[in-house]
């Protein structure tokens, strides 16, 4: 088939690479978000998908909005049979959805209908799920509600951050998306409507959502830290300033600390929760670089009875 691939961040690049390497389909163009300011100089930078497409010599389309008439006209001129999508980042209007004969097929990082929305991996970890995966589905105008072509499953490991898990899903999902294109092309694959039961939503996780509650159980705190790493970053406060937690681990043997109470030894830093303690491993103080929690604690000289949080 002739394909137009839509995607923006680094997590979409493995799927683009898989389609380029498949040998069965022609990736005629790529659709991605416009260049965005980045870094201290705030200079405009192309998306990872745009950079990869340019390396491969593929036409790159960067509409401000996918309803722009110039973009729609160019898409009709290309005449794709199907448009595979991975984390494109903009809502597709009906007029765009109707252009390819086989529609737009999205790779979503959950086992639909679980975790529909922008942050499925983060929510799966924060909810304590043991299994997640990726799904390919036909995009409709509803939120991730279209019929599903296929899935792959992935175990959520005890130490997984959302970054770790998303990286694995990006590569497993890339193979799934390529296989879905093959099945659509040869007519062996049909999309199946999602069940009405088991729907859960995964809205974007913002900075306020990542504010830690030390009255919550230790497992909840651990899942919050892992689910919010690398972004937006789980955080608390210490002496009135924000402290980001990059890595922590449950410490079931520390039952002697009140919620938020922090204590530091030579090589360990522990904080109390609503159940038992957690050990802080890596932190980032406001305006500082990430550092080992023990090094941070030596620098700030934690006093007896001090607490994290408001």
Same domain membership, residue 172 and residue 27 = yes
Same domain membership, residue 179 and residue 61 = yes
111 among annotated binding-site residues:
yes
pLDDT of 42: 84
pLDDT of 38: 84
Same domain membership, residue 228 and residue 137 = no
- For residue 194, being part of any structural domain is answered with no
pLDDT digits (tens, 9 = 90+) for 265-304: 989 999 999 999 999 999 999 999 999 999 999 999 999 9
Same domain membership, residue 139 and residue 21 = yes
Q: How many other CB atoms are there within 10 angstroms of residue 272's CB atom?
A: 24
Locate 50 and state its tokens.
């745009």
Same domain membership, residue 284 and residue 165 = no
pLDDT of 95: 97
How far from 174 is each of 4, 11, 137, 171, 217, CA to CA, in Å? 15, 10, 14, 5, 36
Cα separation, 276 vs 118, in Å, equals 32
What confidence tier does 142 reach under pLDDT thresholds 50, 70, 90?
confident
Evaluate if residue 39 carries a pLDDT over 90.
no
Give percent above pLDDT 70 in the chain: 100
166 among annotated binding-site residues:
no
- For residue 279, being part of any structural domain is answered with yes
| Residue 294, domain extent | 207-300
- Name the domain boundary from 154, 186, 218: 186
pLDDT of 110: 98
Cα separation, 45 vs 224, in Å, equals 31
Q: What are the two backbone dihedrals, phi and then psi, of residue 121, each rounded to the nearest 5 degrees?
A: -70, -45
Give percent above pLDDT 90 in the chain: 96
- For residue 258, being part of any structural domain is answered with yes
What confidence tier does 33 reach under pLDDT thresholds 50, 70, 90?
very high
- For residue 307, being part of any structural domain is answered with no
**What is the radius of gyration, based on Cα positions, of the chain?**
22
pLDDT of 214: 98
- For residue 43, being part of any structural domain is answered with yes
- For residue 198, being part of any structural domain is answered with no
CATH of residue 279: 3.10.25.10
Same domain membership, residue 150 and residue 226 = no
112 among annotated binding-site residues:
yes
Name the average pLDDT for the chain: 97
CB-CB contact of 84 with 131 (8 Å) = no
- For residue 250, being part of any structural domain is answered with yes
48 among annotated binding-site residues:
no
Long-range contacts, 89-98 (Cβ 8 Å, 24+): 89/8, 89/9, 89/33, 90/33, 90/65, 90/66, 91/66, 92/66, 92/139, 93/66, 93/67, 94/141, 95/67, 96/66, 96/67, 96/71, 96/72, 97/139, 97/140, 97/141
Same domain membership, residue 144 and residue 82 = yes
Same domain membership, residue 225 and residue 149 = no
Same domain membership, residue 219 and residue 149 = no
Same domain membership, residue 165 and residue 16 = yes
Q: Is the pTM of this model over 0.75?
A: yes
CATH of residue 106: 3.40.50.170
Long-range contacts, 88-93 (Cβ 8 Å, 24+): 88/6, 88/7, 88/8, 88/12, 88/31, 88/32, 88/33, 89/8, 89/9, 89/33, 90/33, 90/65, 90/66, 91/66, 92/66, 92/139, 93/66, 93/67
pLDDT digits (tens, 9 = 90+) for 210-264: 999 999 999 999 999 999 999 999 999 999 999 999 999 999 999 999 999 999 9
Same domain membership, residue 255 and residue 162 = no
Same domain membership, residue 171 and residue 57 = yes
pLDDT digits (tens, 9 = 90+) for 173-206: 999 999 999 999 999 999 999 999 999 999 999 9
Evaluate if residue 163 carries a pLDDT over 90.
yes
Total domains in the fold of the chain: 2
pLDDT of 60: 98
């Amino acid at each position: 088939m002739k394909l137009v691939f839509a995607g923006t961040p680094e997590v979409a690049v493995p799927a683009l690479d898989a389609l380029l390497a498949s040998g069965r389909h022609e990736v005629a163009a790529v659709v991605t978000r416009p260049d965005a300011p980045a870094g201290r100089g705030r200079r405009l930078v192309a998306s990872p998908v745009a950079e990869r497409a340019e390396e491969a010599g593929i036409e790159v389309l960067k509409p401000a909005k996918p309803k722009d008439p110039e973009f729609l006209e160019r898409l009709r001129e290309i005449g794709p049979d199907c448009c595979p999508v991975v984390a494109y980042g903009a809502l597709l209007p009906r007029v765009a959805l109707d252009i390819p004969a086989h529609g737009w097929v999205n790779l979503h990082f959950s086992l639909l209908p679980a975790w529909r929305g922008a942050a499925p991996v983060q929510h799966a970890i924060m909810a304590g799920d043991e299994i997640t995966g990726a799904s390919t589905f036909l995009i409709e105008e509803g939120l991730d509600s279209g019929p599903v072509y296929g899935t792959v499953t992935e175990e959520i490991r005890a130490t997984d951050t959302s970054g770790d898990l998303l990286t694995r899903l990006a590569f497993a999902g890339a193979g799934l998306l390529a296989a879905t294109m093959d099945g659509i092309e040869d007519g062996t694959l049909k999309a199946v409507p999602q069940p009405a039961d088991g729907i859960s939503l995964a809205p974007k996780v913002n900075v306020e959502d990542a504010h830690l509650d030390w009255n919550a159980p230790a497992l909840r705190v651990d899942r919050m830290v892992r689910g919010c790493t690398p972004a937006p970053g789980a955080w608390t406060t210490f002496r009135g300033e924000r402290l980001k937690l990059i890595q922590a681990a449950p410490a079931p043997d520390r039952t002697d600390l009140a919620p938020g109470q922090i204590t530091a030894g030579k090589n360990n830093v522990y904080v109390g929760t609503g159940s038992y303690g957690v050990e802080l491993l890596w932190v980032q103080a406001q305006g500082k670089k990430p550092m080992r929690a023990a090094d941070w604690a030596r620098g700030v000289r934690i006093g007896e009875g001090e607490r994290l949080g408001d």
